[in-house]
């Protein structure tokens, strides 16, 4: 159910008619930069959330160790 070859050809012809051959490379670069920035931002968010998860596990483990080390009453 994706876009086939005829659909891609139609989109290219439509883009040429709307923007002209001189503006099309600039538009492509802008779209590429936008996707690259989005991907980098998503990667940064994923990397930021990973250390928080591991730190919370470390805190849970240290609390469990402290509870296990208590002297019996």
Judge whether 1 lies within some domain.
Answer: no
Residue 68 forms part of a structural domain: yes
Look at residue 55 and tell me if it is in a domain: yes
Whole-prediction pTM value?
0.48
Tell me, yes or no, whether 53 lies in a domain: yes
- Within-domain flag for 66: yes
Residue pLDDT tens, the chain, 73 long = 688 999 989 998 998 898 888 888 898 899 999 999 999 999 999 888 766 655 555 556 666 665 656 555 5
Contact between residue 25 and residue 15 where contact means Cβ atoms under 8 Å apart: no
Residue 7 located in a structural domain? no
Structural domain span for residue 55: 21-73
**Structural domain includes residue 36:** yes
Domain count, the chain: 1
Residues in the chain: 73
For residue 12, is it within any domain? no
- Gap between the Cα atoms of 3 and 9, Å rounded: 10
């Amino acid at each position: 159910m994706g876009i086939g070859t005829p659909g891609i050809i139609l989109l290219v012809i439509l883009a040429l008619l709307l923007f002209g051959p001189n503006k099309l490379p600039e538009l492509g670069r802008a779209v590429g930069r936008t996707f690259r920035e989005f991907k980098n931002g998503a990667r940064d968010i994923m990397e930021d959330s990973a250390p928080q998860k591991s730190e919370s596990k470390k805190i849970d483990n240290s609390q469990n160790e402290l509870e296990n080390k208590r002297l019996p009453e």
